[in-house]
Amino acid sequence: MSRTYLDHAATTPMVPEAVAAMTAELTRVGNPSAAHGSGRAARRVLEDARELIAARVGADPAEVVLTSGGTESDNLAVKGAWFARRDRRRDRVVTSAVEHHAVLDSAAWLGAAEGATTVLLPVDGTGRVPEAAVDAAVDERTAVVSVMAANNEVGTRQPLAAVARRAAEVGAVSHSDAVQAVGHVPVDFAASGLDLLTFTAHKLGGPVGVGALLARRETALAAVQHGGGQEREIRSGTFDVAAVAGFAAAVEVAVRDLEAEEVRLRALRAELVAGALAAVPGAVLRGTLDPERSLPGVTNLGFPGCAADAVLMVLDAAGLDCSAGSACSAGVPRPSHVLTAMGLADDDARSSVRFSLGRGSTGADVAALLAVLPDAVARARAATAVG
């Protein structure tokens, strides 16, 4: 059975250019930190990739700290900024209630281990942080404020300009997890006013296991792991040259095609939403279709009266790959923290399914989903009623 992939927000297929770039480097010998000829050749590949990545996201090459991906970058940003700024007058970490757990858990760890005060910004019914909440929460006691560029579950984009402005006013470090944004909507680090920004390769057509933290040169960061100090003495570890080359190739393709892909995916998303709302009684959109406040390809739909896991089982059997709007811990389903922060009751949060489109998604994929979705929801509702 051929499968229809509608889970690009989880990970994306690698683009051919990234595969080719990685393949060309897989047989290379030479540690890029070595001084001999093979090492210098590997270093050239690495630095060329760094320059390309920087140019495509509005950064200076010296601001690109290469990491193993989004989780490491988020940990380094939140913890590194905290440790570099920690003093009695700055004991607060401010973040939103809808962040990825790489940020939320980093902030919670700082609270438990270091006595930080964690402040969670509320969101409205679409999952967006009100600018007034940012102004109220970020003050002279704040060491670091971290607000994601766009949410991974509902696709809502956040007011990063307001975050950067307020942080600058009070002398706090500003960070954004832009894992879902880079390569999908315009991102310009220099123009953003942010001090730190996270993104990763596998969410934009590159390989798993490589990402970056953009860090302004004047922003102090403490290392959270120690070793060779390869990246500005704040991130240690031998570079994966092949993965970095694939990362750069994927960034190049994603940014090059961004405008056309955004238009195409927004049209597909609108078709998906309209078709689902018309075909499935009681279906409701979580988030917003506002192009200024949403990602082009992420859709979260609620199907009250059934469990999302049941819907996903039917869709999976029909050859469609989607995901639930909830996390699972130790095999126990829990309502999504994103959806509950948006004001949904637990049962409504558990009924939501995410459909995320990306490069390669087509009208035929949307049609395949809409052909089986009404029956999938009906069967899930019947199973829930019996249960």
Query: Which DSSP string corresponds to 93-146?
Result: EEEETT--HHHHHHHHHHHHHH-PEEEEEP--TTSPPPHHHHHHH--TTEEEEE
CATH code: domain of residue 347: 3.90.1150.10
Catalytic position from the list 328, 345, 367, 382: 328
What's the mean pLDDT in 126-154? 97
Whether the Cβ atoms of residue 202 and residue 69 lie closer than 8 Å to each other: yes
Q: Regarding beta strands 323-324 and 284-286, do their DSSP bridges make them parallel or antiparallel, or are they unpaired?
A: unpaired
- Tell me the three-class secondary structure of 347-358, residue by residue: HHHCCEEEEECC
Quote the pLDDT of residue 387: 63
DSSP three-state, residue 328: strand
Alpha-carbon distance values, 352 to 128, 324, 339, 340, 355 (Å): 18, 6, 9, 11, 10
CA distance linking residue 12 with residue 354, whole number of Å? 15
CA distance linking residue 255 with residue 258, whole number of Å? 5
- Name the residue type at position 174: S
324 pLDDT exceeds 90?
no
Q: CA dihedral defined by 257, 258, 262, 264, rounded to 10 degrees?
A: 0
Residue 56 has, within 13 A of its CA and on its CB side, a CA count of 25
CA distance linking residue 157 with residue 77, whole number of Å? 20
Per-chain mean pLDDT for the chain: 95
pLDDT per residue over 268-298, tens digit each?
999 999 999 999 999 999 999 999 999 999 9
Quote the pLDDT of residue 85: 87
Among the candidates 210, 226, 256, a domain finishes at 256
330 pLDDT exceeds 70?
no
Quote the pLDDT of residue 333: 66
Whether the Cβ atoms of residue 139 and residue 170 lie closer than 8 Å to each other: yes
Residue 272 shares a structural domain with residue 241: no
pLDDT per residue over 43-64, tens digit each?
999 999 999 999 999 999 999 9
Q: Which of 150, 193, 198 is nearest to 172 (CA)?
A: 193
Per-residue pLDDT band at 327 (split at 50, 70, 90): very low
Boundaries of domain holding 134: 16-256
pLDDT per residue over 334-356, tens digit each?
899 999 999 999 999 999 999 99
386 pLDDT exceeds 90?
no
Per the domain annotation, does 284 fall within a domain?
yes
| CB within 8 Å of 355: residues ≥ 6 apart | 6, 272, 299, 300, 301, 322, 369
Residue 177 shares a structural domain with residue 93: yes
- Strands (E) located in the chain: 4-5, 64-67, 92-96, 117-121, 142-146, 173-177, 196-200, 211-215, 284-286, 298-302, 320-321, 323-324, 328-329, 332-333, 352-356
The count of domains in the chain is 2
pLDDT per residue over 85-104, tens digit each?
877 689 999 999 999 999 99
Per the domain annotation, does 11 fall within a domain?
no
Residue 252 shares a structural domain with residue 304: no
Per the domain annotation, does 328 fall within a domain?
yes
36 pLDDT exceeds 80?
yes
Residue 235 shares a structural domain with residue 311: no
Residue 48 has, within 13 A of its CA and on its CB side, a CA count of 12
Alpha-carbon distance values, 268 to 35, 187, 259 (Å): 51, 22, 15
Residue 297 shares a structural domain with residue 176: no
Measure CA of the first residue to CA of the last residue in the chain; give whole Å: 30
Quote the pLDDT of residue 155: 98
Please, what sign has the CA dihedral across residues 287, 291, 293, 299?
A: positive
CA distance linking residue 240 with residue 116, whole number of Å? 34
1 pLDDT exceeds 80?
no
Residue 56 shares a structural domain with residue 158: yes
**Ramachandran class of 209: left when φ > 0, alpha when ψ lies in -120 to 50, beta otherwise:** left
Among the candidates 256, 276, 294, a domain finishes at 256
Residue 1 has which token pair? Answer: 């059975």
What's the mean pLDDT in 135-164? 98
Alpha-carbon distance values, 13 to 96, 110, 232, 277 (Å): 29, 35, 31, 28
Cβ neighbours, 10 Å, residue 41: 16
Per-residue pLDDT band at 223 (split at 50, 70, 90): very high
326 pLDDT exceeds 80?
no
Q: Tell me 231's DSSP state.
A: B
Per the domain annotation, does 5 fall within a domain?
no
Look up the pTM and report it: 0.96
CA distance linking residue 342 with residue 97, whole number of Å? 9
Per the domain annotation, does 281 fall within a domain?
yes
CATH code: domain of residue 212: 3.40.640.10
Quote the pLDDT of residue 88: 65
Task: Let me know if 328 is a catalytic residue.
Answer: yes
Alpha-carbon distance values, 320 to 13, 273, 282, 313 (Å): 15, 16, 22, 9
Whether the Cβ atoms of residue 247 and residue 210 lie closer than 8 Å to each other: yes
322 pLDDT exceeds 90?
yes
Per the domain annotation, does 358 fall within a domain?
yes
* Backbone phi and psi for residue 180, each to the nearest 5 degrees, phi listed first: -85, -10
